[in-house]
Each structure stands twice: as C-alpha cells, then as structure tokens.
C-alpha cells in the first residue's frame, strides 16, 4: 500500500492513501479522545462535542457548515467511539480543499452558543431514547457496562439523560482543551487525494491547534463481569454473552479475529450452523470482537423466542468449550481466506482505507501493509485458537445480558458456573 505519513510543523499528523482512477475522496480527522476519557460529571461529552461541531463556527452558521459541503454534493458526518472521535467527509476530487477548510473550521472555531447547546441536549436525549427502543443496539450498550461496571470503559457513549441534561459550555471547552490538539489528531485522506497537497492544506488550515492539557492515558479498564437482565414485552429475547477478549497489543489479537470468524463470523461458522441451520432456534446469531488499547470484549449475540433460551445458552457455551480441544485445518483455512479477502475488499473502499489508517497510526506509529496483515493472519495456528478458547472458558466473571421475554433464562450463577474454576 502506498500510504504516506507526514508530521506537519504545526504538529498534526497527515496520512494519505491514494487510489488511482477514483473521482472521489474520503477525508477526515480522527481524534484520540472518546467516551473512556470522560469523568462521571460530564458523561457523554465526547459525543456531545461531536454534535456541537456542526452547530456553527466564528465564520459559518450551523446551516452554512453543512450547506457548503452538501452544495457540492458531498456529505459530512461524525462518530464517537470509546477511544476515538471522527469527523469525516466524502467529496468529489476538486472539493477536497473545501472539505479540509470545513473540517479545520469546525474543529478550531466552533462557537458553542448556549441556545444551540440547549437544543442539542434535547436532540441527544431523543437519540438515547431511540437507542433504548432498539433492543439489538441497546443490548451492546448494557453489555459494555456489565463487563466494565462503574468505570470509564463501561459507560454509555451517549451519556445519560441526566448528564446530557446537565451538559454546559464549560464542559465542552474544557474537554477540547484537555484532549484535542495536534498530538492527538490525525488528518487522513484516501481515494482521489494527493499527499503533498493535503499536507499543504493541513499546514495552513490547522494553525490554531494547541497541545492538549491531558496527555495521560485514560483509566485502565478492569474486567468485572456481571449480569444485566431486563424483562420487556418483546417478540424475541435478545441475548449477549460477553467474555474478556484481546487488546490491540495482545499477542492473541489476530487469534481472536480468526477465532471469532470460526465461532460466529459467517454462515459456515459453528454457531450459525449449530443454532440456526441445525436447530432453527434463531434468525440472527453472530460473534463480535472488539479490541481496545488495554483490553478486549468478545461477545456473542443471539435473538430468539423466549422458550428457546433454555436450549440456546448451553449450546453457545458448549461451542466455545469444544474449540478448546478440536478445531479443523479446513476451518482455519476458511477463516484465514475470509480475513484475507476482507482486507482486499476493504482496500477497494476509500472510507475503509481511512479507518484502517486511523486504527494503526495512533497505536503503532505506522500503517501496517496488507501483506503484513495477511502474514499475521496466516501465522495463527490451531494451538493458538485452542489456547484462546481455553482463555475464554477460564473467565471467572462472564457477562450475561438479556432483554425481552426472559423468564425461562437460567440464573446468572448457573450461567457463570459454566466458566472459570467452577467448571
């Protein structure tokens, strides 16, 4: 991959991944600040700030911010995760200087007017309501909280109705001063983009950044799994099992990905075959593997009729346990092929290429090439996978979350006894 990386005089890191033949470009600023950087009194400030960036600057009204990009057919968006906040655009090639200008404007010159803050409290409160109403989304929020209770890593990205209701202008400006600056921000472009040009625009546009006051890493995460069970009048019971996964620096990082692929990553995976194809117990069942700086969360989701909960939980745990002593070469080869093809397909999408750089650069100081990634995937062995299965089965405090008609679900102590030393 022809990725170029430069550090500008203003301290900002710029990275580009040009794709010949494209007429459009994906562009964005990724900030190393997310929900796990927050203190309890301003929960949700990372995400609130992401909203407020679109609410006007010293030279553009809120409407002008979005109109100037949408006038040329582009779009502007943003998201907040637990470790990053991203502000990004997709535009035609010729509109890249405009996109850099707008991104630099919303990140340096946002005005945070009181009236806009008041309105956004209401919008985000609505967003929280929408999340709670979507059981397949909400269950992952409570999963995170149940894995890491009473600590920054477990708190909801959106904040709570209470903390959002109490959000002030000072919370926002303090948070920016604490966490946003050239050493925590990465300007990335992929597609129809030229490295020298992006560096030049970045140098001019991001001249007002100052170093963040807080450079300490956020509080380390500590796994303290517990249950979350909520009876709701739904058609389906929505269920997650959560176990400690691999951090991004863990020797098992690639093992965890291949393991997830084999257990529940595709239609030929063990859980899909056993739970849906053989038993017909559900429509959706899949694994989800999230890696953070210092920890990981490995989870299995299933949506099923309440009467099937008795059957499905032992099957899920049983499939993990089986992988402690029996994994086929064919399964491993298939998961590797899926991992490799996924990399190639991602390379054909400019937004994916930006995400890739945004994951690698802050963590490793460079962007791993497709060949390097493939080599690491191919290095995963059956013994590694069995070892990872054993590691999952040794969990002392597994997480069990369930929402819906869950009256027949086994107790948490029964569930926990399937893992750890109680086994």
Q: Which of residues 159-198 bind a copy of itself (CB under 8 A)?
A: 191
Of 176, 148, 164, which is closest to residue 33 (Cα–Cα)? 176
The catalytic residue among 50, 83, 116, 355 is 50
> Helix or strand or coil: residue 28?
strand
Give the residue, chosen from 124, 198, 323, 399, that forms a contact with a copy of itself under the rule CB under 8 A.
124
Residues 324-353 that bind a copy of itself (CB under 8 A): 330, 333-334, 337-342, 344-345, 347-350
Binding-residue pattern over the window 384 to 423 for a copy of itself, x denoting contact by CB under 8 A: --------------------x-------------------
Q: Establish if 91 lies at the interface with a copy of itself (CB under 8 A).
A: yes
Question: With binding defined as CB under 8 A, does residue 374 bind a copy of itself?
Answer: no
Whether 136 sits among the annotated catalytic residues: the reply is no
Please enumerate in sequence order all residues whose Cβ is within 8 A of that of 293, keeping only pairs 6 or more positions apart, or say none.
83, 217, 247, 248, 249, 363
Using the rule CB under 8 A, which residue among 3, 12, 13, 24 binds a copy of itself? Answer: 24
- 380-385: long-range contacts, CB 8 A cutoff, minimum separation 24: 380/254, 380/255, 380/258, 380/332, 380/336, 381/332, 382/327, 382/329, 382/332, 384/252, 384/255, 385/255, 385/258, 385/259, 385/262, 385/323, 385/327, 385/332
Please list every residue from 59 through 88 that binds a copy of itself, using CB under 8 A: 62-63, 66-67, 70-76
Q: Does 310 bind a copy of itself (CB under 8 A)?
A: no
Regarding 23 and contact with a copy of itself (CB under 8 A), the answer is yes
Q: Where are the alpha helices (DSSP H) in 273-408?
A: 309-322, 329-347, 350-364, 370-378, 382-393
CA 265 vs. chain centroid, Å, equals: 17
Scanning 40-48, 202-210, 282-290, 312-320 for contacts with a copy of itself by CB under 8 A, the matching segment is 282-290
Q: What is the DSSP letter of 36?
A: G
Beta carbon of residue 231, minimum distance to a copy of itself (angstroms, whole number): 12
Are 65 and 76 within 8 A, CB to CB?
yes
Residue placing its CB nearer to a copy of itself in the complex, 139 or 361: 139
H or E element that contains 29: strand 24-31
Secondary structure of 244-312 as H, E, C letters: ECCCCCCCCHHHHHHHHHHHHCCCCCHHHHHHHHHCCCEEEEEEEEEECCCCEEEEEEEEECHHHHHHH
Per-residue contact string for residues 209-238; x = within reach of a copy of itself by CB under 8 A: ------------------------xxxx-x
Interatomic CA distance for residues 145 and 152, integer angstroms = 9
Query: In the complex with a copy of itself, which residue's Cβ is closer, 238 or 360?
Result: 238
Q: How far is the CB of 191 from a copy of itself (least distance, A)?
A: 8
Among 59, 109, 122, 414, binds a copy of itself (CB under 8 A): 122
**Whole-number minimum distance, CB 373 to a copy of itself, in Å?**
13
Which of 247, 268 has the CB closer to a copy of itself?
A: 268
Q: Check residue 97 for interaction with a copy of itself (CB under 8 A).
A: no
Nearest to a copy of itself of 90, 391 (CB atom): 90
Catalytic positions, written as ranges: 50
């Amino acid at each position: 991959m022809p990725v170029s990386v430069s550090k500008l005089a203003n301290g900002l890191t710029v990275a580009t991944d040009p794709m010949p033949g494209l007429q459009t470009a994906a562009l964005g600023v990724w900030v190393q600040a997310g929900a796990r950087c927050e203190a309890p009194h301003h929960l949700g400030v990372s995400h609130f700030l992401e909203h407020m960036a679109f609410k006007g600057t010293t030279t553009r009204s809120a409407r002008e911010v979005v109109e100037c990009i949408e006038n040329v057919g582009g779009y502007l968006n943003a998201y907040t995760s637990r470790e990053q906040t991203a502000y990004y655009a997709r535009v035609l090639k010729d509109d890249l200087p405009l996109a850099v200008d707008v991104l630099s404007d919303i990140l340096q010159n946002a005005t945070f007017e009181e009236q806009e803050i008041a309105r956004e409290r209401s919008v985000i409160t609505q967003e929280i309501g929408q999340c709670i109403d979507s059981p397949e989304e909400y269950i992952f929020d409570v999963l995170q909280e149940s894995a890491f209770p009473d600590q920054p890593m477990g708190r909801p990205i959106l904040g709570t109705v209470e903390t959002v209701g109490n959000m002030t202008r000072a919370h926002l400006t303090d948070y920016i001063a604490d966490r946003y600056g050239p050493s925590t921000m990465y300007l990335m472009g992929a597609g129809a983009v030229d490295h020298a040009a992006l560096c030049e625009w970045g140098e001019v546009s991001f001249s007002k950044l100052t170093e963040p006051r807080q450079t300490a890493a956020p509080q380390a995460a500590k796994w303290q799994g517990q249950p979350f069970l909520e009876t709701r009048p739904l058609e389906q019971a929505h269920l997650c099992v959560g176990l400690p996964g691999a951090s991004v620096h863990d020797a098992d990082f690639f093992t965890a990905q291949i393991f997830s692929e084999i257990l529940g990553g595709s239609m030929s995976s063990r859980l899909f075959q056993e739970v849906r194809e053989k038993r017909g117990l559900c429509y959706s069942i899949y694994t989800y593997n999230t890696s953070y700086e210092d920890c990981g969360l490995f989870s299995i989701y299933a949506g099923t009729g309440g009467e099937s909960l008795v059957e499905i939980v032992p099957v899920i745990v049983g499939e993990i346990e089986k992988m402690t002593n029996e994994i086929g070469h064919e399964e491993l080869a298939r998961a590797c092929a899926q991992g490799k093809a996924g990399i190639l397909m991602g390379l054909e999408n400019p937004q994916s290429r930006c995400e890739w750089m945004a994951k690698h650069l802050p963590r490793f100081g460079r962007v791993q090439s497709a060949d390097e990634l493939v080599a690491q995937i191919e290095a995963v062995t059956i013994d590694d996978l069995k070892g990872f299965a054993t590691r999952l089965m040794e969990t002392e405090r597994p997480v069990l979350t369930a929402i819906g008609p869950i009256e027949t679900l086994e107790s948490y102590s029964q569930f926990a006894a399937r893992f750890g030393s109680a086994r």
